[in-house]
Amino acid sequence: MDKKILVTKSFLPPFEEYAEEIRGLWDTHWITNMGEEHEKLETALKEYLGADHICLFQNGHLALELSLQALGLKGEIITTPFTFASTTWAILRAGCIPVFCDVLPGTCTLDPDKIEALITERTSAILPVHVYGNLCEVDAIQEIADRHGLKVIYDAAHAFGVTRNGVSSACFGDLSMFSFHATKVFHTIEGGCVCFRDPFLRDPLFRIKNFGIQENETWGIGGNAKMNEFEAAMGVCNLRHLDKQIQKRKIVAERYTELLSGRPGIRFPDHPADVRQNYAYFPVFFDPETFGETRNAVSVRLNQAGIFPRKYFWPCTNDFEFEKEIWKQQGIPNLERVSPDLFDPSKTPVAKRLSEEVLTLPIYGDLDLADVDRICGLILDRGAI
């Protein structure tokens, strides 16, 4: 085994570029609390994303969780179970109850035709997730939200730099959260942000990430979710290289597509023509009946060859066996009465099937195309190791 190939590899700018970016911190000794690099990154991201307003956070999870609190949401939030656990945990930790809606089989995003049946007098918001860079049916979701007076908060962790008809993923709904974790197509080592339209959200978001404090006055209860200067500086550098990295990822994705397209039992998510992708992930779905082998078997064979894809997402977040007991411990009584289908993944059959068939293959800018060829060969040749 010559080397390990992981599902992704974090891009790092040239060392000299990053060193020059942080040089001034040794002069000012201002390394946190929204300093010069923080402000520089906010400005650059606002322009790149076309956002009306932006607020940086220490990570994407806190950005989402604290945003729900800043919006003052209560009761039920309709969301998807086909997502990373963080989405569901953010809703719960913000004091709300997730109500799971099934997804579209093509794009893996929230199915707008199934949302309205889940709305009750307790519903306060819809929290869809842009999956693998595929944008949700934003117009249909917004129309439903407007008719019922609901907030729309997008988990856009996968959608940095994605646009639809030239409109940035940052511009939909009331608020969009982006993750800048080291594994993302754009990262600040750890970090995240929220983009929003209502200027009156700026102060609540600032206060809630800064102990409830603004201008030396305590306004309420808050936490500590500030991005530090070293992380912000990494973001400033990485943003300069992002478009080139996306183009390099595109070449990798196109090679996978060329080699795996048309193979019985293998399919890719739909990619609408009006959406510009960021190639953050390369998911493949294996139909075990047609392909003749399960996703798990493919994963094991790749692992044996030193290649480590990811079952992303698996299991669905309404299929965590420990959830029900934990949520009871959190003091949410009679969950079954609140939402009878909450812990029944069979009620979201499309999401459940996707979670059992998906494998996200390695993709990053400097992944050698010879390695892509080898990965595809291992997938298609059941006898190869």
Q: What does the pLDDT read at residue 167?
A: 97
Give the Cβ contact number of residue 355 at 10 Å.
Answer: 22
- Average pLDDT across the chain, whole number: 94
Q: What does the pLDDT read at residue 344?
A: 84
Give pTM, 2 decimals.
0.95
Query: Is the bond into 313 cis (omega within 30 degrees of 0)?
Result: yes
Q: Which amino acid is at 33?
A: N
Which of the listed CATH numbers 3.40.50.300, 3.40.640.10, 3.40.50.1000, 1.25.10.10 matches domain 12-236?
3.40.640.10
Q: What does the pLDDT read at residue 340?
A: 53
Relative to beta strand 282-286, strand 266-267 is antiparallel
- Between 332 and 200, name the one with better pLDDT: 200
Q: Which amino acid is at 12?
A: L
Domain residue spans in the chain? 12-236
Q: What does the pLDDT read at residue 385?
A: 58
Token readout for 29 is 């000794």
Q: What does the pLDDT read at residue 337?
A: 46
Only one residue has tokens 């597509």, namely: 257
Query: How many helices (H) and strands (E) in the chain?
Result: 14, 17
Q: What percent of the chain has pLDDT over 90?
A: 90
How far is the C-alpha of 243 from the C-alpha of 56, rounded, in Å?
21
The per-residue pLDDT for range 347-365, each reduced to its tens digit, is 999 999 999 999 999 999 9
How far is the C-alpha of 181 from the C-alpha of 191, rounded, in Å?
6
Give the Cβ contact number of residue 248 at 10 Å.
Answer: 18
- CA angle at residue 278 from 274 to 279, to 5 degrees? 110
Confidence of residue 327 (pLDDT cuts 50, 70, 90): low
Confidence of residue 335 (pLDDT cuts 50, 70, 90): low
Under DSSP, the state recorded for 190 is: S
Q: What does the pLDDT read at residue 328?
A: 58
Confidence of residue 343 (pLDDT cuts 50, 70, 90): confident
Distances (CA, A) of 74 to 65, 71, 374: 13, 9, 50
Confidence of residue 326 (pLDDT cuts 50, 70, 90): low
Average pLDDT over residues 151-161: 98
Q: What does the pLDDT read at residue 3?
A: 87
Q: What percent of the chain has pLDDT over 70?
A: 93
- Between 224 and 335, name the one with better pLDDT: 224
Token readout for 302 is 């790749």
3-state SS class at 259: helix
Confidence of residue 254 (pLDDT cuts 50, 70, 90): very high
3-state SS class at 55: strand
Confidence of residue 331 (pLDDT cuts 50, 70, 90): low
Query: Which residues in the chain belong to E strands, given as ranges?
Result: 5-6, 53-57, 76-79, 97-100, 123-127, 151-155, 163-164, 167-168, 175-179, 192-196, 213-214, 217-218, 266-267, 275-276, 282-286, 307-308, 358-361
Q: Is the pLDDT of residue 341 over 70?
A: no
Q: What does the pLDDT read at residue 320?
A: 83
3-state SS class at 117: helix
The per-residue pLDDT for range 50-87, each reduced to its tens digit, is 999 999 999 999 999 999 999 999 999 999 999 999 99
Q: Is the pLDDT of residue 2 over 80?
A: no
Q: What does the pLDDT read at residue 382?
A: 76
Q: What does the pLDDT read at residue 332?
A: 56
